[in-house]
């Protein structure tokens, strides 16, 4: 069996879908479905079980698994409950790491580009302790992911036991189907698509930094299908361990993202720019761009979808349909 934590979430449910499409139904999801309709992310899937996180330690006793894909986390960059975030994102991950080590089970886990903070130290996925210790995440979520990366790197540096395969993935700005339960953490494209479709004005942030135009704040946007391909490649390549950026390697602007949506619908752009809220101006990232050299050197040659092609696929296959779920 395969265990996918966070399997009812955005990236997790897309991984489960891809595994089903590849003929695997021996999948256990560890997640909380709640009451916000997250179950719809799995409504088309075949599973062995859905286990709440609190019950996972008992469920794991005596189990034999092919691999653990650990994507479950509190992923809101605005989260403020430090105790809950550390328990969920760090301590739970440490327990899974120990279990996978003791039982010789491969562990593929989600880190985050949020560990890079404002990008002052660059976006190089150097997994050495000295390099990781230079990073300064700007929010609680990023810090919780950084703590786990450091814990793994410490074990590597000391030559301690680890799972037979361990791979940490620093996801950049992932977008695609099944992100709809994420509220304000949805991609701008998903949040604003109905406005684009209806011809209503779409608001983007003005720039509050010299030399950067309104709407020209840039992110490394990556389509969720590309992320899934990386994860499935790692599952099929157990000899590869390490910490890897997962982005396209090319930063694009929020304005370009929305213009691609208008182009996909064949409609005229209607974009306005509004002041960024004061409370986030000091911690707002104006630029993220992954370096993907290490992933390529490790043997990954799957390539990445261009922003325009990804937006076109997302709009045509999901957002502009009555059923938006994968």
Out of 44, 64, 116, 182, the active site residue is: 182
* Beta carbons within 8 Å of 126's beta carbon, 6+ residues apart: 132
Instruction: Please tell me the total number of residues recorded for the chain in this structure.
Output: 326
Q: What's the token pair of residue 58?
A: 């008992």
Instruction: Give the other-Cβ count within 10 Å of 282's Cβ.
Output: 9
Q: Which of 138-152, 184-198, 278-292, 312-326 has the lowest mean pLDDT?
A: 278-292
The alpha-carbon radius of gyration of the chain (Å, integer) is 19
Nearest in space to 129 (alpha carbons), one of 157, 109, 168, 161: 157
pLDDT for position 285: 82
* pLDDT attached to residue 73: 94
pLDDT band at 281 (very low <50, low <70, confident <90, very high): confident
Confidence of residue 288 (pLDDT cuts 50, 70, 90): very high
Residue in 141, 262, 314, 318 annotated catalytic = 141
Q: What is the pLDDT of residues 3-58, one digit of tens each?
A: 999 999 999 999 999 999 999 999 999 999 998 889 999 999 999 999 999 999 99
Q: Is residue 182 flagged as an active site residue? A: yes
Q: Which residues are annotated as a binding site?
A: 10-11, 31-32, 38, 71-75, 145, 173-174, 182, 184, 205-208, 219, 284
CATH architecture of the domain formed by 2-176+221-250+289-305: 3-Layer(aba) Sandwich (3.40)
Residues in the annotated binding site for substrate: 173, 184, 205-208, 219, 284
Q: Domain-by-domain residue ranges, the chain?
A: 2-176+221-250+289-305
pLDDT tens-digit map of 127-178: 999 999 999 998 999 999 999 999 999 999 999 999 999 999 999 999 999 9
Quote the CA–CA distance of 153 and 268 in Å, as a whole number: 49
Per-residue tokens: 8: 């009812």
List, as residue ranges, the binding site for NADP(+).
Answer: 10-11, 31-32, 38, 71-75, 145, 174, 182
Write out pLDDT tens, residues 193-202: 999 999 999 9
Residue 114, pLDDT above cutoff 90 = yes
Give the predicted TM-score (pTM) of the model: 0.95
Average pLDDT value over all residues in the chain: 95
> Does 44 participate in catalysis according to the annotation?
no
Reported as a pLDDT band with limits 50, 70 and 90, residue 282 is confident
């Amino acid at each position: 069996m395969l265990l996918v934590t966070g399997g009812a979430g955005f990236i997790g449910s897309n991984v489960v879908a891809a595994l089903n499409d590849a003929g695997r139904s021996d999948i256990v999801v560890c997640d909380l479905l709640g009451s916000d309709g997250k179950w719809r992310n799995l409504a088309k899937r075949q599973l062995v079980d859905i286990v709440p996180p609190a019950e996972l330690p008992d469920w794991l006793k005596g189990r034999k698994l092919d691999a653990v894909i650990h994507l479950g986390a509190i992923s809101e960059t605005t989260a403020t409950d430090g105790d809950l975030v550390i328990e969920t994102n760090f301590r739970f991950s440490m327990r899974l790491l120990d279990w996978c080590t003791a039982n010789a089970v491969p562990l593929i886990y989600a880190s985050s580009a949020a560990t890079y903070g404002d990008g002052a130290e660059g976006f190089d996925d150097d997994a050495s302790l000295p390099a990781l210790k230079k990073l300064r995440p700007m929010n609680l979520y990023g810090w919780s992911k950084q703590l786990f990366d450091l814990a793994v790197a410490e074990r590597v540096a000391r030559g301690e036991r680890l799972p037979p395969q361990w791979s940490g993935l620093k996801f950049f700005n992932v977008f695609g189907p099944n992100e709809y339960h994420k509220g304000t953490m949805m991609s701008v494209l998903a949040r604003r698509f109905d406005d684009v479709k209806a011809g209503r004005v779409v608001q983007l942030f003005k720039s509050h930094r010299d030399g950067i135009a309104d709407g020209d704040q840039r992110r490394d946007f990556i389509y969720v299908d590309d992320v899934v391909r990386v994860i499935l490649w790692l599952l099929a390549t157990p000899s590869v361990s390490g910490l890897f950026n997962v982005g396209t390697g090319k930063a694009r602007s929020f304005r370009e993202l929305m213009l691609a949506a208008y182009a996909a619908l064949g409609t005229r752009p209607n974009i306005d720019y509004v002041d960024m809220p004061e409370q986030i101006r000091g911690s707002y990232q104006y630029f993220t761009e992954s370096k993907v050299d290490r992933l390529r050197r490790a043997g990954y040659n799957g390539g990445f979808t261009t922003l325009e092609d990804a937006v076109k696929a997302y709009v045509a296959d999901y957002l502009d349909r009555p059923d938006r779920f994968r």
